[in-house]
Amino acid sequence: MRPDRAVVGRAANIPPPPDRDEFLIRFETGELAVRQALGTLMGRLAPLGLTADTLGQTEIVVAEVLNNIVEHAYDIAGEVSLAVQVLPDSLRFTSVDAGHALPSSLLTTGSMPDIPVDPLDLPEGGFGWAMIRELTETLHYRRIEGQNHLSFSIRCGKNMQ
Amino acid sequence: MQISTQDHAGCRVVTVDDARIDAAVAIAFKDRMRELTDAGPIHIVLDLSAVDFIDSSGLGAIVAAMKQLGGGRKLALAGLSDNVEKVFRLTRMDTVFAIHSSADAAVQAHAA
């Protein structure tokens, strides 16, 4: 485990304008890498006055996107970057990895898994992409020169000043 | 993964003391739940009041924990934070589990 692996791309001593910001989080896949990257992201978003609802929504979407990369894109390990753009009314993200291509059907088809009559038949997976689709405003995927680029945005609510 | 249990009349409360049930701990959580619920009361209450984040892997592990109890026993949830509740609502898993506001409320419900 390398706790210093998740890095923020811009010097922390340059204060960003209050409602706009841009930064890059990069990490090497590993057991606790997604947790650390999320910690970095949420720490960076914390002072922006976003509602608890927006922050909760953001954390779950980004967690699902990064977990999918760690679990499915790479066979062993690899590098992941997450570009974050804070705009007045939305948060925009682009994740980039050099793993296997994403089956693009995941972006458009399928809803939440059905709830079966017998709880013992409940699915234990398939919720991740359904939550990503449900909670994002836009979701685009491109495969460029052997890399996966997944762009997504989340509409943000602000606390009253 | 920090998990503790306490037995009450009619139910066993399993308390998660970690703040996250996510992909990093989902398998450990499921295995630990199996050890802690293999025998014992019919009703299990999973106290999530210390948990502030679960992802789909964590959710899947809670579903797995319920399924490994088998048909005759029940898993109820208690003390869901807003973020955790949101994941259950979005995936409609809130319709599958009995959800109590707190572990105490769940214990009272099962003692009645």
At residue A17, the pLDDT reads: 59
3-class SS at B65?
A: helix
Residues of chain B in contact with residue A70, where contact means CB-CB under 8 angstroms, are: 23
Q: Decide if B67 and A134 are in contact by the 8 Å CB cutoff.
A: no
What the block records as the tokens of A37 is 């990257």
Does the CA dihedral A159-B88-B17-A61 come out positive or negative? negative
Q: Decide if B56 and A122 are in contact by the 8 Å CB cutoff.
A: no
Residue A79 has pLDDT above 80, yes or no: yes
What DSSP state is assigned to residue A5?
Answer: -
The model's pLDDT over A4-62, given as tens digits with 9 standing for 90+, comes to 455 555 555 666 556 678 999 999 998 899 999 999 999 999 999 999 999 999 999 99
Q: Decide if B92 and A115 are in contact by the 8 Å CB cutoff.
A: yes
Q: Which residues of B touch A (CB under 8 A)?
A: 20, 22-24, 53, 55-57, 59-61, 63-64, 66-67, 70-71, 82-83, 86-87, 90-93, 95-96
ipTM of this complex: 0.93
Whole-angstrom distance, CA of residue B42 vs CA of residue B60: 21
Residue A152 has pLDDT above 60, yes or no: yes
Segment B67-79 shows an average pLDDT of 93
A23 close to A44: Cβ distance less than 8 angstroms: yes
The model's pLDDT over B20-72, given as tens digits with 9 standing for 90+, comes to 999 999 999 999 999 999 988 999 999 999 999 999 999 999 999 999 998 78
Other C-beta atoms closer than 10 Å to the C-beta of A13 total 5
CA distance B27 to chain A (A): 12
pLDDT level of residue A1 (50, 70, 90 thresholds): very low
Other C-beta atoms closer than 10 Å to the C-beta of A107 total 17
Better-predicted residue by pLDDT, A7 or B109: B109
Which segments of B34-73 are extended strands (E)?
43-47, 53-54
pLDDT level of residue B7 (50, 70, 90 thresholds): very high
Residue A3 has pLDDT above 70, yes or no: no
Query: Which among B20, B70, B90 is the nearest to A131, CB-wise?
Result: B90
A128 close to B56: Cβ distance less than 8 angstroms: yes
What the block records as the tokens of B72 is 């005759």
pLDDT level of residue B10 (50, 70, 90 thresholds): confident
The owner of tokens 């390990």 is: A77
> What do you get for the CA distance between the two ends of chain A, in Å?
40
Q: Can you name the residues that pair with B99 across neighbouring β-strands? A: B77
Give the H/E segment covering residue A142: strand A138-144
3-class SS at A26?
A: strand
Cβ-Cβ contacts under 8 Å for B78 (sequence gap 6 or more): B13, B45, B46, B47, B48, B49, B99, B100, B101, B102, B103, B105, B106
In chain A, whose CA is at the least distance from the CA of B89? Answer: A131
B100 close to B77: Cβ distance less than 8 angstroms: yes
Preferred mutation among A54, A72, A74, A124 to probe B, highest tally of B CBs within 10 A = A124
